[in-house]
Amino acid sequence: MTIKELKEMINLMEEHGLTELEIEKNDFKIRLKKGVSGTVVQEKVYSPARLTKDEGATQAGEPQQVEEAGVTVIRSPMVGTFYGAPAPDAEPYAVRGKEIQTGDVLCIIEAMKLMNEIKSEVSGRITDILVENGQPVEFDQPLFKIQKL
Amino acid sequence: MFHKILIANRGEVAVRIIRACRDLGIRTVAIYSKVDRESLHVRFADEAICIGEAPSSESYLNIPSIISAAEIADVDAIHPGYGFLAENPHFAEICESCQIKFIGPKPESVRLAGDKSLARETMRKAKVPILPGSKGVIVDQAEALRVANKMGYPVIIKAKAGGGGKGMKVAHNDGKLVNAFLTAQAEAEAAFGDRGVYIEKYITEPRHIEFQILGDSHGTIIHLGARDCSVQRRHQKLIEESPAPLLSKRLMKQMGEMAVRAARAFQYENAGTVEFLVDESEKFYFIEMNTRLQVEHPVTEVVTGIDLVKEQIRIASGQKLGFSQDAVKCNGHAIECRINAEDPDHNFLPSPGKIETLLLPGGPNIRVDTHVYQGYMISPYYDSMVAKIIAHGKDRTEAIQIMLRALKETVIAPVKTTISLHEKILHRPRFRQGKVTTGFIETNLIPSSVEQIETRKAG
């Protein structure tokens, strides 16, 4: 939810004479209510999962996203630390836009001092890299998006 | 004191441990399988890490995954809860080698007490009373027959790698023995990966009396009184209480001292439980030591006022036990009912599903330990326990009354639960008199229609 989107929602309410508007999406919910004096009052409601988590902590993971057509999400098969390259000064395995084949190494996940090469199950073009070098990852965490060609 | 602890468990015990950590100002890390994403322990913890697919072997028993999670979360200690890896000496050793403190006893104690045949031998050497039985593992049918005839029937065949009531077969004569012996071996192999079995004398109407042990790393070992867990179905406990009803103070003192002696023979540290069987003539025998926190720990906590999980954490962090044996007092009487999502009218068929309506009991003298909430989906992958209700009265009669009141208040719908069975048990005269033995459920309360119960003899 950006400020721009928020402003748009408020404008829509004014335009159509609405006094109350509530939107729920995934774990996020917002209610906009027009106050007595005419100003718009904002109530933000977070789902219980968010309330007990610290900002910087490892998240429980996003709920299943709707899969876009032709895009495969590569998920982590283990718990560990994500490394994008075989060595700190080496070229990363995966970059946005790169075409890869099934079996190509996408990254390394280090678990208990062992480096595990994570290979792609599909061929295609890498459209998104969802984690950062050195980031701890959990089981099933989305790592890459590969667009079928 | 620890800065951060990872809880290698799920469900009700994970919530319990997180609460103790919170009270002590320690940060908590939960681990969970994919299907436990919406679990309460995940929501409560400061951090949560998904470690694998639903099956326990891929998640809560997945040592590499759990250790990996512990490393990326940079924890000081792991609390294993009960079940899963709590009594796995291999896991305890790995924690040690990764410089993560395992909140429990030393791996050697886990290993020694975990081999039920070796444990018996250790008790024999320490002069703790044990049931007459085989010296070690029984090699073949011929030996089985010899040993059984020597001590006299009935006998019970147990898996040396078993425990918790699993992998046991009773035989009343030579004819049944061979079959029981061979079946027991096969089942032990399948369930525990070890076909070693031993034989013990079988007591037909025993009471199951266990003692809570606390030992610190400075050599102090004390007991926190007894629990009576005789109300069981297929060796799984349904109702537990503390103190043990009707047993004399003299007997309790004797057994308590034996329990401490047993723990010392295992060089025990942290929380554990020594289990005894008591026969009709009040002779008692060691059967096993559980090297973990137990499900029924709340009844001890409620009558002694001691928080066992906090003590576990303190002991593991190196602190001396803060109180002596004499300081442990028993106040009143506590009863716990384990509420399972099972259908008591249909042979206890598991009843997973969504909890649409949840009303938990409250008021004075009621404690509820649970991980369920309204809207929670009871998963079919794990055990069926949904809640533990604990009632505390000034005496046993009052505790029973309070428990009945609490059970009446409780609504867990539309899943089927064992609440109705608990109510039936609490109303039985034999239970009220405190004369329950482990055969009580099978002989007095076969789960089906009320008519069947009326035709059985009273008590």
Claim to verify: residue A88 and residue A142 sit in the same structural domain? yes
Backbone angles phi, psi at B443, to 5 degrees: -90, -25
Give the C-alpha separation, B373 to B371, whole Å.
Answer: 7
- Each residue's pLDDT tens digit, B303-361: 999 999 999 999 999 999 999 999 999 999 999 999 999 999 998 999 999 999 999 99
Asked whether residue A56 is domain-assigned, the answer is no
Could B46 and A57 be called an inter-chain contact, meaning their C-beta atoms sit closer than 8 Å?
yes
Could A80 and B45 be called an inter-chain contact, meaning their C-beta atoms sit closer than 8 Å?
no
Q: Residue B167: is its pLDDT beyond 80? A: no
Asked whether residue A61 is domain-assigned, the answer is no
Cβ–Cβ < 8 Å for B338, B392: no
Q: How many CB pairs under 8 A join A and B?
A: 67
Task: State how far residue B297 is from chain A, nearest Cα, in angstroms.
Answer: 27
Q: Give domain B4-103's CATH architecture.
A: 3-Layer(aba) Sandwich (3.40)
Cβ–Cβ < 8 Å for A78, A117: no
CATH 3.30.1490.20 maps onto chain B at 132-201
Contacting A residues, span 11-40, partner chain B, CB-CB under 8 Å: none
Which of B29, B35, B63, B68 to probe the A interface (max A CBs under 10 A)? Answer: B68
Give the C-alpha separation, B26 to B46, whole Å.
Answer: 10
- Each residue's pLDDT tens digit, B180-197: 999 999 988 888 889 999
Claim to verify: residue A104 and residue A139 sit in the same structural domain? yes
Give the distance, in angstroms, between the CA of residue B85 and the centroid of all CA atoms in the same chain.
14
Q: Which residues pair with B389 in a beta bridge?
A: B337, B368
CATH 3.30.470.20 maps onto chain B at 207-455
Strand pairing of B236-242 and B333-340?
antiparallel
Cβ–Cβ < 8 Å for B228, B435: no
Task: State how far residue B148 is from chain A, nearest Cα, in angstroms.
Answer: 49
Could A57 and B51 be called an inter-chain contact, meaning their C-beta atoms sit closer than 8 Å?
no
- In single-letter form, the type of residue at position A114 comes to L
Give the C-alpha separation, B154 to B63, whole Å.
Answer: 40
Q: Residue B163: is its pLDDT beyond 80? A: no
Q: What is the pLDDT of residue A57?
A: 36
Could B50 and A48 be called an inter-chain contact, meaning their C-beta atoms sit closer than 8 Å?
no
Tell me whether A53 touches chain B (CB under 8 Å): yes
Q: What is the pLDDT of residue A29?
A: 74
Q: Rounded to 5 degrees, what angle do the CA atoms B320, B324, B327 make? A: 135
Give the C-alpha separation, A105 to A108, whole Å.
Answer: 8
Q: What is the pLDDT of residue B291?
A: 97
Give the C-alpha separation, B168 to A86, whole Å.
Answer: 53
Out of 3.30.470.20, 3.90.550.10, 3.40.50.300, 3.90.1150.10, select the CATH number for domain B207-455.
3.30.470.20
CATH 3.40.50.20 maps onto chain B at 4-103
Name which of B86-90, B121-125, B233-237, B389-393 the model is least confident about. Answer: B233-237
Give the C-alpha separation, B273 to B280, whole Å.
Answer: 22
- Each residue's pLDDT tens digit, B75-106: 999 999 999 999 999 999 999 999 999 999 99
pLDDT tier, A131 (very low <50, low <70, confident <90, very high otherwise): very high
Strand pairing of B221-233 and B207-215?
antiparallel
Active site residue B16: no
CATH of domain B132-201: 3.30.1490.20
Beta carbons within 8 Å of B327's beta carbon, 6+ residues apart: none
Q: Bigger pLDDT: A38 or B31?
A: B31
Coil/strand/helix, residue B148: helix
Total number of domains in chain A? 2
Q: Which residues of B touch A142 (CB under 8 A)?
A: none
Task: State how far residue B6 is from chain A, nearest Cα, in angstroms.
Answer: 13
Name which of B122-126, B163-167, B280-284, B435-439 the model is least confident about. Answer: B163-167
Asked whether residue A59 is domain-assigned, the answer is no
pLDDT tier, A35 (very low <50, low <70, confident <90, very high otherwise): low
Claim to verify: residue A31 and residue A84 sit in the same structural domain? no
Q: Which residue has the tokens 């069987």?
A: B277
Neighbours of A144 (CB within 10 A): 23
Q: Residue A26: is its pLDDT beyond 90? A: no
**What is the extent of the structural domain holding A91?**
71-147
- Each residue's pLDDT tens digit, B47-77: 999 999 999 999 999 999 999 999 999 999 9
Q: Which residues of A touch B69 (CB under 8 A)?
A: 79, 138
Asked whether residue A62 is domain-assigned, the answer is no
Q: Rounded to 5 degrees, what angle do the CA atoms B203, B247, B160 make? A: 35
Rounded to 10 degrees, the C-alpha dihedral B410/B416/B422/B424 comes to 110
- Each residue's pLDDT tens digit, B15-47: 999 999 999 999 999 999 999 999 999 999 999
Which of A63, A79, A141 comes nearest B68 by C-beta? A79
Scanning every residue of chain A, which has its alpha carbon at the shortest distance from the alpha carbon of B52? A139
- Each residue's pLDDT tens digit, B219-257: 999 999 999 999 998 878 999 999 999 889 999 999 999
Q: What is the pLDDT of residue B192?
A: 84
Claim to verify: residue A36 and residue A82 sit in the same structural domain? no
Q: Residue A2: is its pLDDT beyond 80? A: no
Question: pTM (2 decimals)?
Answer: 0.83
Give the C-alpha separation, B5 to B21, whole Å.
Answer: 8
Claim to verify: residue A43 and residue A89 sit in the same structural domain? no
- Each residue's pLDDT tens digit, B260-299: 999 999 999 999 999 999 998 899 999 999 999 999 999 9
Q: What is the pLDDT of residue B456?
A: 37
Claim to verify: residue A84 and residue A141 sit in the same structural domain? yes
Q: Which of B123, B69, B105, B94 is closest to B268 using CA atoms?
A: B105
For chain B, count helices (H), then strands (E).
Answer: 16, 22
Q: What is the pLDDT of residue A51?
A: 33
- According to the 3-state scheme, what is the secondary structure of chain A? CCHHHHHHHHHHHHHHCCCEEEEEECCEEEEEEECCCCCEEEEEEECHHHHCCCCCCCCCCCCCCCCCCCEEEEECCCCEEEECCCCCCCCCCCCCCCEECCCCEEEEEEECCEEEEEECCCCEEEEEECCCCCCEECCCCEEEEEECC
Average pLDDT over residues A18-45: 63
Name which of A67-76, A117-126, B92-101, B378-387 the model is least confident about. Answer: A67-76
pLDDT tier, A77 (very low <50, low <70, confident <90, very high otherwise): very high
